[in-house]
Amino acid sequence: MNIYQFNITPLSFHHIDQFIGLQTRVQNALSAEDECFIKPRTPEMLSEHLSAQMPIFGVWHGDQLVAAALVTFPDNECAKHMAGYPFNEAAQAKTNVSIVQNLYVDPDYRGHKLSSILLNTVGAFSQEKNRTQLMAKVAVKNVDSCKTFLCNAFQQCATGIDPTRGHDVVFYTAPVGVVQNKFLEKQKPQSVVAIVSCAGPSRHIP
């Protein structure tokens, strides 16, 4: 059985091209009907996100970026005025929430629990920042993504309409600690070894 080793790191401005490449591979794997499942980010938007001191986490297999996710803080003063971050006043008042956006996994690397590894990493980072809840918005028709969040201890908390594209969406939420506990419960001998280096020295995820 092949053993894959993945490194997880925060992305920097130097990694924006790799993120765009990953995003393109994910887009190309979607049908025209399913393109609404993602909201593509431009290099300028990613640069603005990082400049606002909000992280982007990436999973690497060697020198290839194979999964990534943006983490947004709705109470971030910069994010309140950024395109693609339509937080209402109620959301902006939430100082304990991290929002997961643009959770991408390279089509060639699906099946390696990279979404779970990313969500656990976001949970660990959020806990360090004294944030207790994770949230995500998913297109209702994006069944695979909905299953991913449900399998990682998220629960549906609301439904709505995407303000820019008009399709039905579902909102998921989960306590940070519950996401991390779920991740540990799911770990068993498998073909993935992940090394996290989002804060401090690299460490193995059991």
Mean pLDDT in runs of 10 for the chain (206 residues)? 80 98 95 81 95 96 96 86 62 77 95 93 93 92 93 91 81 90 70 47 37
pLDDT value at residue 48 = 94
Spatial separation of the C-alpha atoms in residues 204 and 165, rounded to whole Å:
40
The domain spans of the chain are: 4-204
Among 148, 141, 138, which Cα is nearest to 179's?
148
Spatial separation of the C-alpha atoms in residues 118 and 82, rounded to whole Å:
24
Q: Which CATH number fits domain 4-204: 3.40.630.30, 3.50.50.60, 3.10.620.30, 3.10.440.10?
A: 3.40.630.30
Q: Which residues of 122-159 are buried (b: 16+ CB within 10 A; e: fewer)?
A: bbbbbeeeebebbbbebbeebeebbebbeebbbeeeee
pLDDT value at residue 2 = 55
pLDDT value at residue 3 = 62
pLDDT value at residue 91 = 58
- Name the token pair of 37: 């499942």
- Name the token pair of 29: 């794997």
pLDDT value at residue 205 = 38
Are the CB atoms for 10 and 200 separated by under 8 Å?
no
